[in-house]
Chain A
Amino acid sequence: MEYVIDMRNIRKEFPGIVANDNITLQVKKGEIHALLGENGAGKSTLMNVLFGLYEPEQGEIFVKGNKVVNNDPNIANSLGIGMVHQHFMLVDKFTVTENIILGKEPTKGGKVDLQTAAKEVQALSDQYGLRVDPYAKIEDISVGMQQRVEILKTLYRGADILIFDEPTAVLTPQEIVELIQIMKKLVNEGKSIILITHKLKEIMEVCDRCTVIRRGRGVGTVDVSDSNPDSLAAMMVGREVNFKVEKGDAAPKEAVLKIKDLVVHDSRKVPAVNGLNLTVHAGEIVGIAGVDGNGQSELLEAITGLHKVHEGSIHLRDKEITNKSPRSVTENGLSHIPQDRHKHGLVLDFSVGENMVLQTYYQKPYSKSGILNFKPIFDKAKKLIEEYDVRTPDAYTPARALSGGNQQKAIIAREVDRDPDFLIAAQPTRGLDVGAIEFIHSKLIEQRDNGKAVLLVSFELEEIINVSDRIAVMYEGKIVAIVNPKETTEQELGLLMAGGKRGAVHAE
């Protein structure tokens, strides 16, 4: 059997660490091959080796039977390997067609021939069932369609081996279903796919075989039909993983967060939150389910003081915090694990230690009369790093150098350690592997059991159902339903999130 991609015994070292140690990845023609590993296990390094961005110290690479020796980033293109990036590489102001042909524009008389290009794009999109509008601007189309544009970009360049880098991380449940169909269709048309992911459910659903790497080492390759999520997770993490979130019943007490008739305008002055009411009690986790863009971000920003409230009120315990500054809200007992850890959660160029005191640097013992006190700062940081198992060389390392999962653990350590009355967790496990997810869920539940109020916002329905004690469904800026996670299904939630009425599922 000949492999379309055959990477044998790859070893790649960086100063101080071995990022890839004896990894073998063999992809058959026409299969969907999963590359599974924790955050920082070495998946990206391996793909960068394949793309010629890194030169391996050891090992051989064959593409379609030919040995690849040249370490030239452009060689991947000429060999028909295309990458669908997790963070899209698109020009917002350009149309779909313009983005697809960028760098390989057909010309007529010195001018870009957009008409021919659009026809080609249309033909490609018909062939593979990738529904796009060739003339729409990127900024006007949905995330799912942007992803299809990324796929078309690789196809337009003649790729027959496609690498998907955690493609479902940004998609809604409906879009994920569509993507899975697209991937199956691509394989039927003779393409081969490498799917980088740590979502076991997707691997079980769509992949033929799966190669697992753990801490830079190849663990092995298995047929998906012979395995199950538990065995894959154990291979990836190196121990048994508990999927079922273990928790007792909630014992809700007094109300901690009270939101009344809240109206928040977005940047276009349109109400994004439109008359929302919500109460979160001490000792419970309330999960907010909703399709992205139904006012969740604006709601969180309004609570935390980052966004102006136009009408209504927010109370934290007995204090009104409506339109208070972020600092005053924080000092009133709120912690916030933000949705975007790079934008809001961390100053990436600060050391891990400096990041640990982002909200408390001006208080004792971290500073006195405006002079920073580094010993307490870094003592604290070292303690948190140990307690929360943040994997970093030391507290002086810039946060930028940490893997996504460890950055997230650092944020959680900081926010939970402040011992807040009320904790907001926005997409706390986004892009993380099962081991890290397990840890974060247990921390949220621990907070609840300590009598804190927790508000969880997530686009992962499974997470919402497993972790929350009550689920508030948000649609068009309002809470349209409160459901009991024990009595609901993903289907019912999906329907409510799309603006449907309760009970419609059962009526069918």
Chain B
Amino acid sequence: MQNNKNKMKFLVPLISVFLGLLIGGIIMLISGYPPIEAYAALFEGIFGESYYRGETIRQMSPLILSGLAVAFAFRTGLFNIGVEGQLLVGWLAAVYVGIFVDAPAIIHIPLAVLAAGVAGALWGSVPGILKARFKVHEVITTIMMNYIALYSTNEIIRNFMLAPGERTENVKESASLASPFLQELTDNSTLHFGIIIAIVAAVIMWFLLWRTTLGYELRAVGFNQHASQYAGINVSKNIVLSMAISGAFAGIAGSMEGLGTYQYMTINAGFTGVGFDGIAVALLGANSAIGVILGAALFGGLKIGALNMQAMAGVPTELVGIVIALIIFFVACSYLVHWLMNRVNRGGKI
């Protein structure tokens, strides 16, 4: 039975992807676009050239981290919708350290990434404290903290770090994750070393949750606060810790943008969306470390491939947005997928 369950865990996202593509294709047909050419272009745009592959991997790094942030909180019974805000403060902290600190790369990069993690952790721990102390639901507070983060970071850039073009200066080279080697390897894509950090973070999340006493406590509190309390586990401490660790992952996701892709931070008119995509990535990946990596690969791939779909087949990128939404939709109603599979199985029997 356990085996069966594991198989389902794998099959549901797979079938959801297929259903999403299928219905996306139907929508294209109705709107007068050629679905087969479009999907061929999408596929080409993900795997076709080393440039695209580089871009996809680059896109994955922050998505893995924001997915880990959501998944980690979820494993411990919390719903962190504040990844977006934690990502923004992390981004700013990384860029700040990248601009104003002088150090050799071997120190500067870890320091900037660490600053991003700490900023995200602090930002995330605020809803954690509110929940542990006053039982305020974290969904409300994390959403509100997103707005506070967005406008505060903008204000800080405007007042203290402004460079021409509504943005900060570039970070120093010693803090940059950009890699001429990786860029050359991928035909001048913007691929940077962030992906290594993201994968290390995935391993850390897995290890922390499943191999340490801290992870044991966090999971116990997530499943059953009463039993945890009975067993002598400090529930409040663990709620705050969980939000802080989740926020740290989110903050480091911000450093991917600040130290890697952009090398600076802009004044954002709205949310980046990476934090919210993290919710979908975690859902696709069933909140497991390896699943998050795969989910992020799918997400990143679709986003990059969409550009080519527009260029080659003339299909608007919005349609890819619809396909992505459909895939998430089907994963979320995994019940529907289960039901369909049962129908198919039964049909085979009768």
Are B216 and A354 in contact, CB atoms less than 8 angstroms apart?
Answer: yes
Residue of A nearest to B208 (CB): A370
Q: What residues of B have a CB within 8 angstroms of the CB of A16 in the complex?
A: 1
Min Cβ gap A425→B in Å is 14
Once bound together, how far apart are the Cα atoms of A329 and B219, in whole Å? 23
Q: What residues of B have a CB within 8 angstroms of the CB of A325 in the complex?
A: 232, 234
B4 close to chain A: CB less than 8 A: yes
Are B227 and A361 in contact, CB atoms less than 8 angstroms apart?
Answer: no
B211-223 interface bits toward A, Cβ cutoff 8 Å, 1 = contact, 0 = none = 1111110011001
Are B231 and A370 in contact, CB atoms less than 8 angstroms apart?
Answer: no
Q: What residues of B have a CB within 8 angstroms of the CB of A344 in the complex?
A: 226-227, 229-230
A361 touching B230 in the complex, CB below 8 Å, given contacts A347-B220, A347-B223, A348-B224: no
With most chain A CB atoms within 10 A of its CB, the pick from B212, B216, B220, B226 is B216
Min Cβ gap B239→A in Å is 16
B228 close to chain A: CB less than 8 A: yes
With most chain A CB atoms within 10 A of its CB, the pick from B219, B228, B232 is B232
Are A15 and B4 in contact, CB atoms less than 8 angstroms apart?
Answer: yes
Total B residues in contact with A, Cβ cutoff 8 Å: 21
A244 close to chain B: CB less than 8 A: no
Q: What residues of A have a CB within 8 angstroms of the CB of B224 in the complex?
A: 343, 346-349
Once bound together, how far apart are the Cα atoms of A329 and B231, in whole Å? 10
Are B1 and A15 in contact, CB atoms less than 8 angstroms apart?
Answer: yes
Are B230 and A345 in contact, CB atoms less than 8 angstroms apart?
Answer: yes
A residues 279-308 near B (Cβ < 8 Å) are 304, 306
Taking a contact as CB atoms closer than 8 A, the residue among A15, A346, A358, A371 that contacts B213 in the complex is: A371
Once bound together, how far apart are the Cα atoms of A306 and B228, in whole Å? 11
Residue of A nearest to B215 (CB): A372
Residue of A nearest to B1 (CB): A15
Q: Sample 28 A-B pairs with CB under 8 A, ordered by A number.
A: A15-B1, A15-B4, A306-B230, A325-B232, A325-B234, A326-B231, A326-B232, A327-B232, A329-B232, A338-B230, A343-B226, A345-B230, A346-B224, A346-B227, A347-B223, A347-B224, A348-B223, A350-B220, A350-B223, A359-B231, A362-B213, A367-B212, A367-B213, A370-B212, A370-B213, A371-B211, A371-B212, A372-B213
Taking a contact as CB atoms closer than 8 A, the residue among A326, A328, A329 that contacts B229 in the complex is: A326
A304 touching B212 in the complex, CB below 8 Å, given contacts A347-B220, A348-B223: no
Min Cβ gap A412→B in Å is 15
A358 touching B214 in the complex, CB below 8 Å, given contacts A343-B226, A347-B228: no
Are A349 and B223 in contact, CB atoms less than 8 angstroms apart?
Answer: yes
A24 close to chain B: CB less than 8 A: no
Are A359 and B232 in contact, CB atoms less than 8 angstroms apart?
Answer: yes
Once bound together, how far apart are the Cα atoms of A235 and B289, in whole Å? 51
A329-342 interface bits toward B, Cβ cutoff 8 Å, 1 = contact, 0 = none = 11000001010000
- Going nearest first, the 4 A-B pairs with the smallest beta carbon separation are A327-B232, A344-B230, A358-B231, A326-B232
Q: What residues of A have a CB within 8 angstroms of the CB of B214 in the complex?
A: 370
Are B220 and A304 in contact, CB atoms less than 8 angstroms apart?
Answer: no
Q: What residues of B have a CB within 8 angstroms of the CB of A329 in the complex?
A: 232
Once bound together, how far apart are the Cα atoms of A347 and B226, in whole Å? 9
B residues 1-60 near A (Cβ < 8 Å) are 1, 4
Taking a contact as CB atoms closer than 8 A, the residue among B216, B223, B234 that contacts A361 in the complex is: B216
Once bound together, how far apart are the Cα atoms of A271 and B21, in whole Å? 63
With most chain A CB atoms within 10 A of its CB, the pick from B223, B230, B233 is B230
Min Cβ gap A378→B in Å is 14
Residue of A nearest to B221 (CB): A347
Secondary structure of the B contact surface, majority rule: helix
A336 touching B230 in the complex, CB below 8 Å, given contacts A16-B1, A347-B223, A348-B223: yes
Once bound together, how far apart are the Cα atoms of A338 and B230, in whole Å? 9
B residues 183-240 near A (Cβ < 8 Å) are 211-216, 219-220, 223-224, 226-234
Residue of B nearest to A396 (CB): B2
Are B213 and A345 in contact, CB atoms less than 8 angstroms apart?
Answer: no
- Other than the known A344-B226, A344-B230, what 5 A-B pairs have Cβ atoms closer than 8 Å? A326-B230, A326-B231, A349-B223, A350-B223, A359-B232
Residue of A nearest to B214 (CB): A370
Are B227 and A358 in contact, CB atoms less than 8 angstroms apart?
Answer: yes
Once bound together, how far apart are the Cα atoms of A344 and B230, in whole Å? 6
Min Cβ gap B151→A in Å is 39
Q: What residues of A have a CB within 8 angstroms of the CB of B227 in the complex?
A: 343-347, 358
Q: What residues of B have a CB within 8 angstroms of the CB of A15 in the complex?
A: 1, 4
Once bound together, how far apart are the Cα atoms of A371 and B216, in whole Å? 10
Min Cβ gap B322→A in Å is 35
Residue of B nearest to A400 (CB): B223
Once bound together, how far apart are the Cα atoms of A338 and B229, in whole Å? 12
With most chain B CB atoms within 10 A of its CB, the pick from A15, A306, A354, A358 is A358
A306 touching B220 in the complex, CB below 8 Å, given contacts A15-B4, A372-B213: no
Min Cβ gap B306→A in Å is 38
A residues 443-468 near B (Cβ < 8 Å) are none
Are A330 and B232 in contact, CB atoms less than 8 angstroms apart?
Answer: yes
Once bound together, how far apart are the Cα atoms of A370 and B241, in whole Å? 15
Min Cβ gap A352→B in Å is 14
Q: What residues of B have a CB within 8 angstroms of the CB of A306 in the complex?
A: 229-230
With most chain A CB atoms within 10 A of its CB, the pick from B1, B213, B219 is B213
Residue of B nearest to A346 (CB): B227
Q: What residues of A have a CB within 8 angstroms of the CB of B234 in the complex?
A: 325
Residue of B nearest to A343 (CB): B226
Are A372 and B211 in contact, CB atoms less than 8 angstroms apart?
Answer: yes
Once bound together, how far apart are the Cα atoms of A327 and B234, in whole Å? 9
Once bound together, how far apart are the Cα atoms of A329 and B226, in whole Å? 16
Q: What residues of B have a CB within 8 angstroms of the CB of A359 in the complex?
A: 231-232
Taking a contact as CB atoms closer than 8 A, the residue among A304, A350, A370 that contacts B230 in the complex is: A304
Residue of B nearest to A17 (CB): B1
Q: What residues of B have a CB within 8 angstroms of the CB of A336 in the complex?
A: 230
Q: What residues of A have a CB within 8 angstroms of the CB of B213 in the complex?
A: 361-362, 367, 370-372
Q: What residues of A have a CB within 8 angstroms of the CB of B232 in the complex?
A: 325-330, 359
Are B212 and A372 in contact, CB atoms less than 8 angstroms apart?
Answer: yes
Once bound together, how far apart are the Cα atoms of A348 and B228, in whole Å? 11
Q: What residues of A have a CB within 8 angstroms of the CB of B219 in the complex?
A: 350
Min Cβ gap B85→A in Å is 30
A360-372 interface bits toward B, Cβ cutoff 8 Å, 1 = contact, 0 = none = 0110000100111
Once bound together, how far apart are the Cα atoms of A182 and B257, in whole Å? 71
Once bound together, how far apart are the Cα atoms of A329 and B230, in whole Å? 11
With most chain A CB atoms within 10 A of its CB, the pick from B4, B214, B224, B231 is B231
Once bound together, how far apart are the Cα atoms of A326 and B227, in whole Å? 11
Min Cβ gap A397→B in Å is 8
Min Cβ gap B350→A in Å is 13
Min Cβ gap B285→A in Å is 19
Residue of B nearest to A338 (CB): B230
Q: What residues of B have a CB within 8 angstroms of the CB of A371 in the complex?
A: 211-213
Once bound together, how far apart are the Cα atoms of A492 and B259, in whole Å? 79
Q: What residues of B have a CB within 8 angstroms of the CB of A326 in the complex?
A: 229-232
Min Cβ gap B30→A in Å is 38
Once bound together, how far apart are the Cα atoms of A217 and B159, in whole Å? 78
A residues 356-389 near B (Cβ < 8 Å) are 358-359, 361-362, 367, 370-372
Q: What residues of A have a CB within 8 angstroms of the CB of B229 in the complex?
A: 306, 326, 344
Once bound together, how far apart are the Cα atoms of A326 and B1, in whole Å? 37
Once bound together, how far apart are the Cα atoms of A330 and B212, in whole Å? 22
A residues 413-448 near B (Cβ < 8 Å) are none
Q: What residues of A have a CB within 8 angstroms of the CB of B211 in the complex?
A: 371-372
B102-119 interface bits toward A, Cβ cutoff 8 Å, 1 = contact, 0 = none = 000000000000000000
With most chain B CB atoms within 10 A of its CB, the pick from A325, A330, A372 is A372
Min Cβ gap B208→A in Å is 10
Q: What residues of B have a CB within 8 angstroms of the CB of A347 in the complex?
A: 220, 223-224, 227-228
